[in-house]
Structure 1
Amino acid sequence: MRKIRQSLPLLLPLVLSAAVWLPIVFLVGGSFMGEAELTASLAPVLSGGEGFARWDLIPLYPTLRPYVELLLDSPGFFVMFWNSVKITLGTLAGQLLVGVPAAWGFARHEFPCKNLLFTLYIVLMLMPFQVTMMPTYLVLDRLNLLDTLTGIILPAAFSTFPVFIMYRFFRGIPQALIESAELDGAGSFRIFWSIGLPLGAGGVMSAVVLGFLDCWNLIEPPMTYLKTKALWPLSLYLPQVVTGRAGLALAASVVALIPAILVFLYGQSYLEQGIIAAGIKE
């Protein structure tokens, strides 16, 4: 009885974990099902038939056909995959070039209207895409960047959220260490390069991981600013999979999920640091 009472606090996390992982288990299992098995299981959903859909965790007749069709007979998938890679890498590079110096400046330097500007950063961070969609559209139109990958990368590169994350890490660097470096004759750039970046690496990596997960799954900006299908990212591929090709859609979902899972597993500790830093009040 005592062991049961001790294990009760673990019951809720286990149930929540199962609820989170169950759709992924369904997704992976379904990607190895043939079209006949998928149609039989999802007929009420796919064809609007009567009754209830059912789902087997383990395929009755496993097959690699959905992956073969996706990887060998779907050139559009690879085009959109590389579009996602270009958008993600370009956005992350821009966020590092813009966000790291901005976060360091807000954290370690004093200048007029600093608090006001940082407050504006926070306000911009809280604004949803629907609020900034029209102004961004008009700016991109004037710059002739609509229907280009640059038009997706440029606004995301100036995102304020990475600045907010990295600011907390740079702010946590001891002032005594900065003053010691200044006494030794180190200039502002040397302090930033030799002290700020190494000690704030956790914040930078946290921002990179969060930025990757956000950009890889980007939906609304590409739908708004891109008209040419050849420029669409992978996140817009699945809605184009027609009824009767559920296996292809599930296989594409699994392949698209793999990079995000790998980045999450690699940067999990950095994400935890970022969450802790973002929750600290000054």
Structure 2
Amino acid sequence: MHMGKVILWGILTLLAIVALYPVFFLISGSFMGKDELGACLGAVISGKQGYADFPLLPSFPTLCHYVEIFLDSPEFFVMFWNSIKITFGVLAGQLVVGTAAAWGFAKYEFPWKKGFFLIYMILMLLPFQVLMLSDYLVLDRLALTDNLWGIILPGIFSTFPVFIMYRFFTEIPDSLLESARLDGAREWQLFLYLALPIGSSGIIASMVLGFLEYWSLIEQPLTFLKEKSLFPLSVFLPDITSVSQSGMAFAASVVTFFPALMVFLGGQDYLEQGIMAGAVKE
């Protein structure tokens, strides 16, 4: 049994190294000079003969690409703040709209409740490409295309955080709510002082997932935005294609990746709880 565990851990460690190697190379590539990157990736980026090389450590480390990003690329900061506005605007809206909707579905009875919730679930399963045309027509009619609000408002009314938080709110005992009502608590007090604290794990899980999704948006900005000054950081990276810009692409990728990594590590436990709650059938 002991030997079996050793073999299992060895296999899992090997798979983890293989899965994490692109991240290691991403960080390593951000410290490589342009000549070294050209020699390693020339076959991929510029179509040279031969094979790409992926060394784990740079031969001549340099910070020039980070200097270029932070000091010589003002458009990087514009797109960075656009990503901040979009991501936190969506999360703030979901915190208000999503929690209220999830609480209503979980603890109140109203006509066509199951039908409305079924529509929510169907909308959650539909990919963006299916709704792209209808979303564009609605936003265009509201004069919200080529505007950050055209990205933020649809995200606020996303159905996925409602689904996550709904599972946690249903776990709150009805007897607890009835006891609070008998003590004179109003409905808004039940929501603020019972639902939000008890369901905080589901709320944080949905916020973490929302951050990871909206921090890396590509399709929506490319569809609804025309002005490059409104593009988020996730659109900045695919625009870098030449060999001379490959080092800046590596550095920008690391800077973009770091906030998502921190949020993921900070909310990992809540994500696990959210996944387990979403897997439970009613």
The 1-side partners of 2:241 and 2:205 are apart by: 37
1:274 aligned partner? 274
Is the CA contact 2:172–2:198 (under 8 Å) kept in the aligned structure 1? Answer: yes
| Structure 1 residue ranges without an equivalent (≥5) | none
What per-residue deviation string (whole Å, max 9, x for no partner) do you get for residues 131-187 of structure 1?
A: 110010000000000000000101111000000000000000112211111121212
Moved over 6 A (4+): none
Q: CA deviation at 1:20?
A: 2.0
Q: Which AA in structure 1 matches 2:13?
A: L
What per-residue deviation string (whole Å, max 9, x for no partner) do you get for residues 69-124 of structure 1?
A: 11110111000000000000111111111100000000000111101100100000
Q: CA deviation at 1:234?
A: 0.2
The 2-side partners of 1:39 and 1:117 are apart by: 55
The 2-side partners of 1:124 and 1:59 are apart by: 46
Q: Which AA in structure 2 matches 1:64?
A: L
| Structure 2 residue ranges without an equivalent (≥5) | none
Alignment of 1:1-282 (within 5 A): 3-243=2-242, 244-282=244-282
Percent identity, aligned pairs only?
A: 55
The 1-side partners of 2:34 and 2:176 are apart by: 63
CA-based RMSD:
1.0
Of the structure 1 ranges 134-143 and 182-191, higher mean CA displacement relative to structure 2 is found in 182-191
The 2-side partners of 1:135 and 1:5 are apart by: 55
Q: CA deviation at 1:9?
A: 2.2
TM-score, normalization by structure 2 = 0.98
Q: Which AA in structure 2 matches 1:101?
A: A
Of the structure 1 ranges 47-56 and 80-89, higher mean CA displacement relative to structure 2 is found in 47-56
Q: 3-state DSSP class of the match of 1:53?
A: coil
Aligned length: 281
Q: Which AA in structure 2 matches 1:206?
A: A
The 2-side partners of 1:183 and 1:9 are apart by: 55
TM-score, normalization by structure 1 = 0.98
Is the CA contact 2:164–2:206 (under 8 Å) kept in the aligned structure 1? Answer: yes
